[in-house]
Structure 1
Amino acid sequence: MMKKIIPLVLTATLAGCATPPPQNPNNLCDIFFEHRDWYFDAKDAQEKWGAPKHLLMSMMFQESSFKHNAAPPMEYFLGFIPTGRASSAYGYSQAKTPTWNDYVSKSGNSGADRDDFADAIDFMGWFVYNTHKINGVSKWDAYGQYLNYHEGWGGYRRGTYKKKAWLMKTAQKVKVRTGNYGVQLKKCEDDLNKNWLQRLFS
């Protein structure tokens, strides 16, 4: 009997430990004050890969709404027989399995998990860095970076996005959000960088 109970308890415990999405995803300051460790993870990614924090967070919001276990919807045959998901995209960054494995292999971040925020945002920083290296798109160009992120480096070079009006509209949405996030971050970054002692006396 105990063998059946323990896994259920563990499952419930693990589910309870999952970081919930931020309550106000439209304001980067609110996001980082609610999940302060996310700020430092994003800061590490920027320092490592040169990818702006507000751009990474805007792209992540677009991809997963900051849900650690986000995945494409299940597809069904005849409306009721499950045939699998539309793609292998998963986690905060919605990275597909082959691209994630490439990141793990080339970045040296062995053991990285797509449902771990620190690993996911490091992956996104790595992708932005390589987009700039491979296709010459500025790390600060949210529009071009998102098109690369969605279509892949080869697809972007072939211009596959040009036949997808909805995707270009979404990339523009990411660009606008990135700008808003950047303005918001300037107002609170000094406070975010304060340690607990500085916050105590501020």
Structure 2
Amino acid sequence: MSRLFRALALVLLAASCGGGSGTAPRQLDNACSILSERPGYLNAFRAVERRYGVPVHVQMATIYQESKFISDARTPYRYAAGVIPLGRQSSAYGYSQALDGTWEEYLDQTGKRSARRDRIRDATDFMGWYMLETQSRLGVPVSDARNQYLAYHEGRTGFTRGSYNSKPWLVRVAGEVDQRADMYAVQLRSCT
């Protein structure tokens, strides 16, 4: 009986430590509070900053916009006639809202076959990889939250074509990402 109890306790402990509960930190407008509530986030953000050069505040602002720090975030369902489900709007999933195809490209190029979009370390590594590629190919600095977000949202080809110019809402959102990155940068100076 004690062997069964130990096994059950181990399973429950593992489940509670998974970090993929889907819940967001409580105070999303406070970078210090986010990092205090989820200490593992800072380790993931710093690893990406060291490896790819993407500042912590840019990563945080992008994740806020993409998933509000919800590990298993998905796009909403589409409906025909308001009631017949047609599937999700896209394959975007996880903290980074990476699309299936782009995620597969990341897995192939990095060799990280066990990476998952609902793990903060993997999601931030994906973002760092993508943003560094954007800097290499398009010359958009990894510190430029606004334009990195536009390229992230529209894809590099869409960004190059300026597809965002016909989407005033997206230009507004990219400005909000930039403002949030600035806000997080100021906050982070006092807590990290």
**Shared fold (TM-score, shorter chain, > 0.5):** yes
Give the structure 2 partner of residue 151 of structure 1. Answer: 154
Return the offset for 1:161.
0.6
SS of 2:190's equivalent in the other structure is: helix
Equivalent residues, number: 179
In the TM superposition, structure 1's runs of 4+ consecutive aligned residues that sit over 2 Å from their partners are: 13-20
User: What residue identity is the alignment partner of 2:45?
Assistant: A
Superposed CA deviations along residues 114-162 of structure 1, whole A, max 9, x for unmatched, are 1111100111111110110011001110111000000000000001011
Give the structure 2 partner of residue 77 of structure 1. Answer: 80
Return the offset for 1:108.
2.1
Give the structure 2 partner of residue 86 of structure 1. Answer: 89
Give the structure 1 partner of residue 167 of structure 2. Answer: 164
Question: Would you say 1:135 and 2:138 are equivalent positions?
Answer: yes
User: What residue identity is the alignment partner of 2:107?
Assistant: V
Give the structure 2 partner of residue 178 of structure 1. Answer: 181
User: What residue identity is the alignment partner of 1:48?
Assistant: R
Of 74-83 and 96-105, more deviation after overlay is shown by 74-83
Structure 2: which 5+ residue stretches go unaligned? 1-10
The root-mean-square deviation of aligned C-alpha atoms, in Å, is 1.8
Return the offset for 1:14.
4.8
Structure 1: which 5+ residue stretches go unaligned? 1-9, 190-202
C-alpha distance in 2, partners of 1:51/1:109?
19
TM normalised by structure 2 equals 0.89
Describe the shift of the 1:34–1:15 C-alpha distance in structure 2 as closer, same or farther (beyond 3 A): closer
User: What residue identity is the alignment partner of 2:99?
Assistant: K
SS of 1:188's equivalent in the other structure is: coil
TM normalised by structure 1 equals 0.84
User: What residue identity is the alignment partner of 1:119?
Assistant: D
